[in-house]
Amino acid sequence: MAVALLQMHDIIKSFPGVLALNKAALSVQPGEIHGLVGENGAGKSTIIKVLAGVYKADGGTVTIDGEALQDVTPRSVHEAGIRFIHQELHLVQHFTVTESVFMGQELSGIGGLSRRDMKAKAESFFKDALGTELSGDLLIRDLGIAERKLVQIARALIDGAAKLVVFDEPTAPLSSGETEKLFAAITNLKARGIAMIYVSHYLAEITDICDRVTVLRNGKTVSVFEEVLPDSTDAMITAMVGREIEALFPDVSHCASADLLQVQNLHHQAFSNVSFDVQAGEIVGIAGLIGSGREEVVDVLYGLKKASEGAVKFNGKSQAFNAPKDAVAAGMVLVPRDRRHDGLVLDMSVSDNVNLASLDDISTGLIERRKMGLAKAGAVAEQLDIRPRDPSAKARNLSGGNQQKVVLGRWLTRGAKLFILDEPTVGVDVGAKVEIYALVEKLAADGAGVLVSSSDPGELVGLCDRILVMLRGEIITEISTDGLGVDHLVALTTGGQAA
Amino acid sequence: MNILARYGFLLIIAAFFIFFSLYNPAFLTIGNQLNMVEGSAVLLVLALSMTLVVAMGGIDLSVGIAFDMGAAFAVVALKEYDSSWQMACLVGVLGGAGVGVLNAVLIVGLKVSPFMATLGTFFIGSSVQRVFTNGGGPISHRRMPQEYRDLAVGDVFGIPTEIIIAAVVLIAYFIFLERSILGKRIHAIGLQRSAANVAGIPVRKYMFVAFVIASATCAIGGLIGSANIRMFTPLAGFSYLLDAIAAVFIGASIHPKGRPNVIGTLIGVLFLGMIGNGLNLMGLNFNLKDALSGLILVGALALAVGQKRLR
């Protein structure tokens, strides 16, 4: 084999409390499309950020074209010809295509910017390198998402010095038709000899376009596929999932009773025809990739977004919550996926955050009784083992797992009939995960309904009684977790296997 | 170093206080001190209203309009409708509250940003005043009831009424914003609105009511102002806008967590009053006051930012 274009060897990267990369390796040959797969938290984005110079690795080497890169910085990596197509577009809505492509790298001649040159160069780049016609005068806001993605690509590659392009989840926001367009561009780039790293959750896409695939699990490279065939997905899933998760989950089976939540034919821009129910005492999971409509289902139920059609019956009454306050009043509470943004008021104390939804209980008239609040939060901290124990600590300074316990604690003090948990353990260390799972089991055992939306298939299989599987805006199937393999669930969510 | 950063601004205040006292002994006399405090009463009322709005994550550029409306409604009620002084006060406060309703509809109902919405209200309110007064002439009312006049010039047990009114508003705001669960919710909205919403706080209702309360408070300032000069002067409230904003941000910069707060605002208002008074006694150009308070405000904010970096 020729000298590898990129070689990352024994990369180690740790964050407080988490070993994100544990001697991970990644090697890319010139001109190939290299897939990078793994579950959430496996270390995909960490290794990409190490390569980009965003994170500084604690150990390991990065070699480009056979030469070790001493100092991996955004600049040195750029000079070595590596470009990144991030998930977020970072484009200015009011700029034209040409302005966007050349932003920060404008061409100028005598008498200022050479607008005509730039337009011609941009348009010919779209035609020759990306295989599509796109006028340089169009405004970004008038483009479809796929075209914006192409503009983003053009902006990274227009200087002609790119040797390796890293795509991070490029198709997440795209429909299948738009995905075709992007793939056409990628194939075009490959024909021009540019190597690519392709990070995606959609295994079907990986087998379609990748030449080789690296699989990460728990910060390690567990497998490299030298050849990718349409039926390689099964082997990839097995490599991604591993076999160690079962022990994390308490073994309780629930006797569900009484319809708590009934959802009928719910429609929204992001999903259609969603129907399901949750019984009291039951834990129901929603599985699906990012963009499958899973997040929006949660938002609509909780009153954060509006359904265009459909009916929701909660606790025996027809309900359409206009705002979270209505849901909370009815006994439906949410632990949101973005806990730092939607879950906690970061600059308030643990006590304030725990009591935020039940301030009436710690007041005389309208005057807050601080000591009572602190005592209550202290008891929650004790019960959930929140560290530090001090309820006057600022929520911002807690670790992810402890922050999540604070959000859960808020609803425990208030009490609720249905707990919706959206990505309950993202960014949570393993120890806190086990505690959170035990708590969820206890909630259900005490008669509450629980709806868990998660991108972690192991978590869903281990925790839930049954799982709704969503793919591109629809519930494609509902399965019991009895004897369900994680690999089977992953196959369903990635569209790798028919329901 | 940390202590210096935290108390830096208070040290600046103390330094100015000592400087003014040494420069002119008249500064320290009880008469002058009382004068200084009384002169700050109206600004304090408006600055407290601003504290509420800023703590909720907004800004109110229309405090002056609410001040003017308070004065206008009360004076017109007294002059044209011969109403009692109590009724005039009530009408004035309701007039101010009307400004708050307009702000709230724009911000909460139509989702215009607070900055743009209250700027719009400011323009609309200014124009309405000019049209109503045929181009901005004052509405004078020399024979107003003594009780109304006393809002500005009277006293209770020797303490000027203005100071008492401002103190009552101060205490009410302190309990409301710093001690009640309503205030806690408002701070939560200001610090992280989406989290407050997900926690089930009726964010829109709180914002609506808070904007109305804020403007009604400004109208109280307008009552005092009109009682003092026995007339309604169009656009008189505008002069308080920037001082009120400055006082709130000075107050936030000396708060350990950098939040807008009632006591901080009080200190900010007294500081601005002291600068004005002290420069006046030095016989310096009074117009220098703005330059100095501007410099000091920027200095204080720089200190507050440096303080956050230290932690």
Contact A294, A451 (CB under 8 A): no
CB spacing of A348 vs B188 below 8 angstroms: yes
Residue type, B302: A
Among residues 146-185 of chain B, which lie with CB inside 8 Å of chain A?
175, 179-185
Q: Beta strands B155-156 and B139-140: pairing type?
A: unpaired
CB of B191 within 8 Å of any CB in chain A? yes
Mutate to test the interface with B, among A298, A340, A348 (most CBs of B within 10 A): A348
pLDDT tens, B119-160? 999 999 999 999 999 888 899 988 889 999 999 988 888 889
How many CA atoms does the CB half-sphere of A364 hold within 13 Å? 4
| Nearest beta carbon to residue A336 from set B181, B198, B202 | B198
| Nearest beta carbon to residue B191 from set A325, A345, A359 | A345
CB spacing of A325 vs B200 below 8 angstroms: yes
Scanning every residue of chain B, which has its alpha carbon at the shortest distance from the alpha carbon of A324?
B200
Q: Which residues of B touch A327 (CB under 8 A)?
A: 200
The CA distance from B241 to the nearest CA of chain A, in Å, is 28
Scanning every residue of chain A, which has its alpha carbon at the shortest distance from the alpha carbon of B203?
A325
How many CA atoms does the CB half-sphere of A206 hold within 13 Å? 31
- Could you give the CA distance from residue A270 to residue A209 in angstroms, rounded to a whole number? 27
How many CB atoms sit inside 10 A of residue B195's CB? Answer: 26
Residues 6+ apart with CB under 8 A from B176: B52, B182, B183
Residues belonging to chain A with any Cβ–Cβ distance to chain B shorter than 8 Å: 302, 304, 323-325, 327-329, 333-334, 336, 341-348, 352, 356-357, 359-360, 362-363, 366-368, 410
Q: Beta strands A164-168 and A82-85: pairing type?
A: parallel
Nearest residue to A478 (alpha-carbon basis) of A291, A282, A332, A280: A282
The CA distance from B132 to the nearest CA of chain A, in Å, is 41
Q: Beta strands B231-232 and B139-140: pairing type?
A: antiparallel
| Nearest beta carbon to residue A368 from set B179, B191, B200 | B179
How many CA atoms does the CB half-sphere of A399 hold within 13 Å? 19
The domain locations on chain B are 26-310
- Could you give the CA distance from residue B206 to residue A347 in angstroms, rounded to a whole number? 20
pTM assigned to the model: 0.75
CB spacing of A363 vs B175 below 8 angstroms: no
Residue type, B45: V
Nearest residue to A351 (alpha-carbon basis) of A382, A312, A316: A382
| Nearest beta carbon to residue B195 from set A329, A344, A367 | A344
Q: Which domains does chain A have, with CATH numbers?
A: 6-241 (3.40.50.300), 246-493 (3.40.50.300)
CB of B213 within 8 Å of any CB in chain A? no
Scanning every residue of chain B, which has its alpha carbon at the shortest distance from the alpha carbon of A359?
B181
The CA distance from B150 to the nearest CA of chain A, in Å, is 33
Q: How far is CA A174 from each of CA A36, A167, A285, B119, B227, rounded to the nearest angstrom?
A: 19, 14, 25, 40, 65
CB spacing of B199 vs A357 below 8 angstroms: yes
Q: Which residues of B touch A333 (CB under 8 A)?
A: 200
Model pLDDT, residue B311: 43
Q: In the CATH scheme, what architecture does the domain B26-310 have?
A: Orthogonal Bundle (1.10)
The CA distance from B309 to the nearest CA of chain A, in Å, is 15
Per-residue pLDDT of chain A (499 residues; tens, 9 = 90+): 568 899 999 999 987 767 889 999 999 999 999 999 987 678 888 899 999 998 899 999 999 998 898 889 999 999 999 999 987 778 888 899 999 999 888 887 777 778 888 999 999 999 888 888 889 899 998 888 888 889 999 999 998 889 999 998 888 767 667 788 889 899 999 999 999 999 987 787 888 899 999 999 888 999 999 988 877 887 888 888 775 444 556 655 555 556 899 999 999 999 999 999 999 999 999 999 878 899 999 999 999 999 999 999 998 889 889 999 999 999 999 999 998 899 999 999 999 999 999 999 999 889 999 999 999 999 999 999 888 888 998 998 888 889 999 999 999 988 899 999 999 988 777 778 888 999 999 999 988 999 999 988 889 999 999 999 999 899 999 999 888 888 889 889 888 765 4
Q: Which residues of A touch B179 (CB under 8 A)?
A: 367-368
CB of B255 within 8 Å of any CB in chain A? no
Q: Which residues of B touch A410 (CB under 8 A)?
A: 199
A10: tokens are 């024994």
Nearest residue to A138 (alpha-carbon basis) of A156, A129, A126, A130: A126
CB of B102 within 8 Å of any CB in chain A? no
Q: What share of chain B is helix, strand, coil (3-state, %, to 5)?
A: 80, 5, 20
Nearest residue to A189 (alpha-carbon basis) of A222, A152, A164, A171: A164
Q: Which residues of A touch B201 (CB under 8 A)?
A: 325, 356-357
Contact A467, A284 (CB under 8 A): yes
Mutate to test the interface with B, among A298, A325, A367, A418 (most CBs of B within 10 A): A325
CB of B201 within 8 Å of any CB in chain A? yes
Model pLDDT, residue A252: 54
| Model ipTM value | 0.86
Q: Which residues of B touch A346 (CB under 8 A)?
A: 191-192
CB spacing of B181 vs A362 below 8 angstroms: yes
Mutate to test the interface with A, among B56, B175, B181 (most CBs of A within 10 A): B181
Scanning every residue of chain B, which has its alpha carbon at the shortest distance from the alpha carbon of A410?
B199
pLDDT tens, B211-247? 999 999 999 999 999 999 999 999 999 999 999 999 9
Give the 3-state secondary structure of residue A251.
coil
Nearest residue to B216 (alpha-carbon basis) of B63, B81, B86, B76: B63
The CA distance from A344 to the nearest CA of chain B, in Å, is 6
| Nearest beta carbon to residue A324 from set B192, B200, B257 | B200
Nearest residue to B52 (alpha-carbon basis) of B163, B212, B256: B212
CB of B190 within 8 Å of any CB in chain A? no
Q: Which of left, alpha, beta for A202 (phi over 0: left; psi -120 to 50: alpha)? A: beta
B203: tokens are 């964010």
Residues 6+ apart with CB under 8 A from A247: none
| Nearest beta carbon to residue A345 from set B196, B200, B202 | B196
